[in-house]
Amino acid sequence: MEDKKKEEDSIGIKNREGRKLSFPRVVASIFIALLILVFVFLVGYMVSFLNYQKIVSIQDTLKTDLLGTQISGELLKDCNEDAFNVFSEELDKAGALISVLETRFGKNDESVLEQKKTYTLIELQHFLAVKDYSNGCNKSINTILFFYSNDEAYGQRAGDIGK
C-alpha cells in the first residue's frame, strides 16, 4: 500500500537516477522559483524607482540653483562683488549636478540633454552679466569661453578653437 501511495504522488517522468519525480516536489520547486522571480523583479523595480526619485531630486535642485543664478545675475547690477561670487558659484554647482546626471544616465539621455540646454542658456546669461558687471562697475574681468559638444567631431573642433 505504501508503494502504491508513492506511485500516486510521482509523475511519469524519471530523473537521472531512474526514480520517478514526486509531483508535490515539482509543484513546490516551481512555486519557489516563481517566488524568487517575483522577488528579484520587485527588487529591480524598487531600485529603478529609487533611481528615478534621485533624478527628480537632482533636477529639482538644479532648477533651484539655476533660479538662484538668475537672481544673483540681477544683483550684479548693484556692483556687489559678493553677488558676483555667488552667481559664479551657483553656476558651478549647477554644472556639477549636470555632470552627476551625465555620469548616471549618459550624455545622450533626454532629460540630461534638456537640463544641459537650460544650463547653456544660464551660462550665456552669466557671460552677459559678467560683461555688464565688468563694464558698468569698472572692473577688469577676463572671460574664458569653453565650447563643449557630445558629438566628437564638434568636440574636436571646439578644442581646436580654444588653442
| pLDDT band, very low/low/confident/very high, at 156 (cuts 50, 70, 90) | low
Give 9-56 pLDDT, tens digit per residue. Answer: 555 666 677 677 778 888 999 999 999 999 999 999 998 888 778 777
Residue 78: per-residue pLDDT: 72
Domain coordinates in residue numbering, the chain? 3-154
Residue 34: per-residue pLDDT: 96
Instruction: Name the pTM for this structure.
Output: 0.53
The three-state DSSP-derived secondary structure of the chain is CHHHHHHHHEEEEECCCCCEEEHHHHHHHHHHHHHHHHHHHHHHHHHHHHHHHHHHHHHHHHHHHHHHHHHHHHHHHHCCHHHHHHHHHHHHHHHHHHHHHHHHHCCCCHHHHHHHHHHHHHHHHHHHHHHHHHHHCCCCCCCCCCCCCCCHHHHHHHHHHCC
